[in-house]
């Protein structure tokens, strides 16, 4: 045996990976110190800014809600379950919703609606609601033209059924020039048209009309 040969050096200990064990926890803490304050700032900004955005949406009548925008044709956009909010000339809120909305790029202010529903609520809690098979909402003029099985409900229990009607969201009025059937606590009526003014407080039937007053109509109207 060659006693002059030196013994091999002892193995050098291997250092653990930088992301193992306690080091991984240290890295997580370092990242958390940076990201958590960032998300906290974002949350605070949302709390402050969102009410202002909501006010803007209401005043401008912009579509909001769980809408899904997609391109149906090269020049058309559609939205599922759109919701339009706005204020009329007396700052009374109105709402227009639908199952589907379609907008042409050529006339962006006109929104074509499937199964639209519109309502306006007054400060005293009274309301006027309209439904139809289809409609067209002009966002600039705030007009909603309704077509097909148009139903108009007034909170005092009066209902009007016709085939076409126009809802003026600015003034809270509605009118139609096709045959109308209506019924309520006082009786039933048929006419050639109608006009609703004062945000549902006054209903006038136009053209040839036939009114049937039910017994006890005065008592029913007082309730």
Q: Measuring CA to CA, how many Å separate 223 from each of 145, 157, 216?
A: 33, 10, 11
Using CA atoms, how far apart are residues 91 and 68, in angstroms rounded to an integer? 29
Confidence at residue 223, expressed as pLDDT on a 0 to 100 scale: 55
Using CA atoms, how far apart are residues 119 and 153, in angstroms rounded to an integer? 9
Confidence at residue 220, expressed as pLDDT on a 0 to 100 scale: 54
DSSP 8-state class, residue 112 = E
Q: What are the tokens at 56?
A: 């803007």
Q: Please report where in the chains the tokens 């006038």 appear, as a residue.
A: 204
Confidence at residue 134, expressed as pLDDT on a 0 to 100 scale: 97
Distance of alpha carbon 172 from its chain centroid, rounded? Answer: 18
Task: Walk along the chain (223 residues) and give the pLDDT tens digit of each residue.
Answer: 454 444 445 455 545 444 445 555 565 556 555 555 655 655 554 555 445 444 444 344 444 444 444 445 556 788 889 998 888 888 888 999 999 999 877 788 899 999 999 998 877 778 889 999 999 999 889 999 999 999 999 888 889 999 999 999 888 899 999 999 999 888 899 999 999 988 777 889 999 999 898 886 666 555 5
Using CA atoms, how far apart are residues 60 and 62, in angstroms rounded to an integer? 6
Confidence at residue 124, expressed as pLDDT on a 0 to 100 scale: 74
Confidence at residue 31, expressed as pLDDT on a 0 to 100 scale: 57
Q: What are the tokens at 210?
A: 């036939």
Residue 114: count of CB within 10 angstroms of its CB: 15
Confidence at residue 66, expressed as pLDDT on a 0 to 100 scale: 45
Whether the model clears a pTM of 0.85, i.e. scores above it, the answer is: no
Task: List, in sequence order, every beta strand (DSSP E) within 81-198.
Answer: 83-87, 93-97, 100-104, 110-114, 117-121, 127-131, 134-138, 143-154, 158-168, 173-176, 180-184, 187-191, 193-197
Confidence at residue 63, expressed as pLDDT on a 0 to 100 scale: 47
């Amino acid at each position: 045996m060659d006693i002059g040969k030196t013994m091999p050096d002892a193995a050098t200990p291997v250092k653990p990976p930088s992301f193992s064990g306690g080091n991984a926890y240290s890295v997580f803490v370092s990242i958390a110190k940076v990201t958590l304050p960032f998300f906290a700032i974002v949350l605070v900004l949302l709390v402050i800014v969102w009410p202002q955005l909501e006010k803007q949406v209401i005043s401008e009548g912009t579509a909001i809600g769980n809408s899904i925008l997609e391109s149906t044709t090269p020049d058309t956009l559609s939205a599922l379950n759109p919701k339009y909010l706005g204020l009329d000339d007396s700052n009374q809120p109105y709402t227009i919703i639908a199952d589907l909305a379609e907008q042409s790029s050529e006339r962006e202010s006109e929104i074509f609606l499937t199964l639209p529903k519109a309502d306006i609520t007054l400060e005293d809690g009274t309301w006027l609601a309209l439904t139809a098979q289809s409609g067209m909402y002009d966002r600039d003029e705030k007009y909603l033209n309704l077509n097909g099985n148009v139903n108009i409900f007034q909170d005092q229990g009066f209902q009007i059924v016709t085939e076409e009607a126009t809802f003026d969201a600015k003034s809270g009025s509605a009118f139609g020039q096709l045959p109308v059937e209506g019924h309520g606590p006082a009786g039933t009526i048929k006419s050639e048209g109608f006009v609703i003014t004062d945000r549902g407080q006054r209903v006038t039937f136009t053209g040839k009309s036939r009114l049937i007053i039910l017994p006890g109509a005065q008592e029913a109207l007082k309730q």
